[in-house]
Structure 1
Amino acid sequence: MKPLHQRLNLYTNGNETYTFVPAEPVGARSLTIYRNSGDIVLNAPNAPLPVTAERSGKTIYGIFGIISLTLSEYIIIVTGRELRGRLMGQNVYRATDYDILPLNPDIQVAAPPHLVEAHLLALVRSHLAGGTFFFSYAWDLTRRLQAQWTSLKEDGDKPVWEIADDRFFWNKFLQTRLIDVTTGNPDQNLSPYILPVIYGTFDIRAERINGHHLRLCLISRRSRYRAGTRYFRRGIDEHGHVANFNETEQILLVGPDDTSVQLSFVQIRGSVPVYWAEINTLRYKPDVQIMDLADNVTDAMRRHFKENTSIYGEQSLVNLVNQKGHEQPVKEAYEKYVAQVNMPNVRYEYFDFHNECKHMRWDRIDVLLSKLEEDLTRYGYFHLDSAKPEPVRLQTGTVRTNCMDNLDRTNVAQSAIAKWMLNQQLRALGLLHETDTINNYAQFMQDFREMWTDHANQISIAYSGTGALKTDFTRTGERTRKGLLEDGWNSVMRYLKNNFFDGARQDAFDLITGSYVPRRGYVPVSLIRDSRPLIIRAVPYALSFSLFMILAGLTLPRTSDYSLVYYFLLWFVLLALSLVFAFAYGIEYVSWPKLVPLTHVIYYNGPGFRSARSGMGFSIPLPALEKLGTQGRKLAEMHRRTKSKLDAVEMGTKERVD
């Protein structure tokens, strides 16, 4: 695999060019991007710089990519990095800081000439600041160890971007311009500048067991397909991609040399692979929507499992969704379609997590392990010994775990499975006796728990906006009351973020991954304009003002002996009416994504199941509010139609471009 340039110096020639010059090796071909035309040119070795070129004071650690917005293209560069460890003798970094360079000479990133361009740039910046992005210049972080070994010969001297796993090459859409130049002209090989980045987690720690030195590494890789936030990306799409798909690889390296003995165990997680959604309505539990599209569902599910089995081998599907209450329809839909596709090498296993582990009986997770033990033993793990020409063994299958969000329950289950497999690996290497476990090694066990807890939190933050729940069990092996309080706080924060802030987060995902491509030269003002009916926009102000007046009446000193009963009655009635109206029209107050609207999901009226149709107006109008409710429904319907028309006209291209 050809290594990448690790440091670049940036030279700006007025409004004409950006030139990136590798700090080493001396004489390497520099890269020039022309600002007016957008042309990208790989210069001859030792090509001189323009006399008027000025060097930037910052060192650049890689080009994250190039993104096109409505008024200009922008180069995203990595200007800060943090060393997170070494894997197979190669440094692994986390990107910590970025700069955005406009190609249009008339645009300043700090003060764009239009509010829409400023809005889109803010989305880009928020995604970069909120994500956890890792990269290596000489090691392919996108692929697990077994995949790298099996394709070792055919990879040869190919550049890392060409052999990277397409699913986990997070910035591939942003690298499209550089890749197109490289593939279109053999003399313009920009491969040393194309830096693949993963969105996920990376942790590696030195350990010691019975006098043996080893290193434990945990990597998660988030798929760029169907990427997004908790309530705005659920289920599967027609291509077989599921929401919140993550591959987790636990690596064990034994001996003084990282490459001496390598063991790897892989698990995956992903949303329930049917067409389903949860519709935010301001209520704590959203409306569950199952879209029973028959052949479409089975085709998509079959594609999903076919891809997984071709990559990982056999599949054990572990479903942790509740069998009663709010989650029951999702469980039943999953089981219905799994039975219909009836694919070989795919086995379904249901585990009622909350029922089995109720009353803080977290040891009951062993029941799940006992059900999976035969499969896990058969699947095994990847084991490579450098003293032998072939791997000692290969992993021939994997466990695919899901709950509703693929976060909290999934984290507990995956960490338990990983611990079970780690014990098997250490025993096979002779580092543990047959009856010995890592529980007997306090420091090792503490590191294992911390790694899995940090891993759980980062995956959860990316999807839900907060840390994971139940991490006290992952960190300590016990469920505690302090953990319950922390879970309560995180649940409240999830509610607030998922209802009032995730629309912009989803827009940022869609922009970075290419699910939405802005149309150059056209500025869609609907992105920043609030076109909801006046009464919808006025209610939050009425609610806030009435709450303010109540607090003022309770706290400010009184200057009169008159009773405040009628005063409080007035403002409490206004507060109550505002709350009733807000929850009745809850859908109008949720922060929805605007780049790729979800109108077809929110107002779906085809075959399937919906737990309720909340937040769409007064379905049973109160006598005093009947007229208001009727008018409100008409306004909401008119608003919905208007939004759909605006979306169709102004949203630009929505097809993914890779």
Structure 2
Amino acid sequence: MELFQTDLHYILLDGEHSLWCSRTTGKLEPKKGNDLANAWNPVCVGQVYGVIGKVKLHPDSEWRLLLIKQRSLACKLAGQHIYKISKIAVLPLNSTDVASDLDLELCKKHHFGMRKSEKTNQSNDNSQMSLRGTWNSIKSVAENVKSKKKETKDKEKFEKRILEELLKMYNDSDFFYYSDDFDLTNSLQRQNSATYDKTLPLWKRTDDRFFWNKHMLLELMEADDPLSEHWMMPVIQGYVQMETCLMDFDEDRMSSQSDMSSSVDYSSQKLEPLSYKISIISRRSRHRAGTRSRTRGINSDGACANYVETEQ
């Protein structure tokens, strides 16, 4: 999946699908992949592996797009790949920041990065004249600006703290997983029930309790556009692991015969070791998730604090 940058949009291209992210309004608009030809001077800035969604760190701040920057294969279950999110990138949807600051992996098709824009320097004389011309105006409104500066500073500090926590949650925990085709939110028992409709798109089959990025994808869900379905990828918080185990019957038999006397000799019978795989999936509910000191008990809707469902 490639990320392109234009003056007005960030464009994600994944085969026959593209997602246009406005750098002025933050609106997400799914289109066909060949619509990229209509973009003005698109530049590829790197490769990503998926879209988590978009968030606002503050009611007055810009939209930010959460992208999967690095991933690792957790296991292959029922023929489908399950990935662990290793690192994310947070892309501000504005016209000032550039995607090259995200340090994305370069895609195989485009072996070049973004060129940083050069700033022209004004002469010292012009700067001094401008400074003298506006100095009196600055002094007259200084008192009114102080309160505004404080509000802006507090907002920036708040955004910085939330952004750091967001990056830490995804990059340092190793507890977020996703799959392009396998429903990680539902147990195999529910997936094989009569009420489970496998013909529906993946996001429509999910268990709402474990769809952690649902709120971040609401805009695409409410658009009710068939092209949106490609970009709505459920993410769970939990743990996924698969291990290969070996059952050696000869070793177990020899140990059992040494402990008990028997007139029957089984030593001539050769049994091949049995290899099998065991998998474990734990998924944490997004309802009433929090630390033990602040989130306890059960609420009126029946949501238990820090509920985790585990299947093996």
| TM-score normalised by L of structure 2 | 0.69
Given candidates 7, 21, 33, the residue that maps to 2:13 is 21
Cα offsets for 1:11-62 (capped at 9, x unmatched): 0103x1011100x3xxx131111121222222235221524211012x2111
Given candidates 90, 114, 135, the residue that maps to 2:178 is 135
Quick check: 1:53 aligned with 2:42?
yes
Contact 1:66 1:177 in 2 (8 A): no
Counterpart residue number, 1:157? 199
- CA 1:60–1:133: 2 relative to 1, 3 Å: same
Three-state SS of the structure 1 residue aligned to 2:215 is: coil
Number of residue pairs matched by the alignment:
231
Quick check: 1:68 aligned with 2:56?
yes
Give how far 1:151 is off.
4.2
Counterpart residue number, 1:517? none
Three-state SS of the structure 2 residue aligned to 1:74 is: strand
- CA 1:54–1:33: 2 relative to 1, 3 Å: same
Counterpart residue number, 1:103? 93
Gaps of 5+ in 1: 1-7, 251-658
Give how far 1:204 is off.
0.5
Measure, in 2, the Cα distance between the counterparts of 1:247 and 1:207: 24
Note the 1:166-315 alignment, pairs <5 A.
Answer: 166-181=208-223, 183=224, 186=225, 188-209=226-247, 210=249, 211-250=273-312
Three-state SS of the structure 1 residue aligned to 2:216 is: coil
Give how far 1:121 is off.
1.6
Q: Which amino acid aligns with 1:197?
A: V
Cα offsets for 1:166-212 (capped at 9, x unmatched): 1111111122222222x2xx4x5311111111111111111232433
Which has more helix, going by share of residues? 1
Measure, in 1, the Cα distance between the counterparts of 2:38 and 2:77: 37
Contact 2:297 2:305 in 1 (8 A): yes
Give how far 1:243 is off.
0.9
Counterpart residue number, 2:79? 89
Three-state SS of the structure 1 residue aligned to 2:34 is: coil
Counterpart residue number, 1:121? 163
Give how far 1:144 is off.
0.6
Contact 1:95 1:134 in 2 (8 A): yes
Measure, in 2, the Cα distance between the counterparts of 1:94 and 1:151: 30
Give how far 1:239 is off.
1.5
- CA 1:193–1:208: 2 relative to 1, 3 Å: same
Measure, in 1, the Cα distance between the counterparts of 2:219 and 2:171: 23
Counterpart residue number, 1:627? none
Measure, in 1, the Cα distance between the counterparts of 2:284 and 2:21: 31
Measure, in 2, the Cα distance between the counterparts of 1:42 and 1:49: 14
Give how far 1:120 is off.
2.2
| TM-score normalised by L of structure 1 | 0.34
Give how far 1:156 is off.
3.4
Counterpart residue number, 1:10? 3
Give how far 1:157 is off.
2.3
Note the 1:134-533 alignment, pairs <5 A.
Answer: 134-151=177-194, 155-181=197-223, 183=224, 186=225, 188-209=226-247, 210=249, 211-250=273-312
- CA 1:139–1:240: 2 relative to 1, 3 Å: same
Three-state SS of the structure 2 residue aligned to 1:134 is: strand
Cα offsets for 1:294-347 (capped at 9, x unmatched): xxxxxxxxxxxxxxxxxxxxxxxxxxxxxxxxxxxxxxxxxxxxxxxxxxxxxx
Q: Which amino acid aligns with 2:275?
A: H
Measure, in 2, the Cα distance between the counterparts of 1:17 and 1:216: 45
Three-state SS of the structure 1 residue aligned to 2:219 is: helix
Measure, in 1, the Cα distance between the counterparts of 2:289 and 2:81: 27
- CA 1:148–1:240: 2 relative to 1, 3 Å: same
Contact 1:134 1:198 in 2 (8 A): yes
Contact 2:17 2:230 in 1 (8 A): no
Measure, in 2, the Cα distance between the counterparts of 1:49 and 1:63: 22
Q: Which amino acid aligns with 1:170?
A: W
Give how far 1:93 is off.
0.9
Give how far 1:103 is off.
1.2
Contact 2:48 2:69 in 1 (8 A): yes
Report the identity percentage.
Answer: 30
Q: Which has the higher contact order (CA 8 A, sep 6+)?
A: 2
Q: Which amino acid aligns with 2:301?
A: H
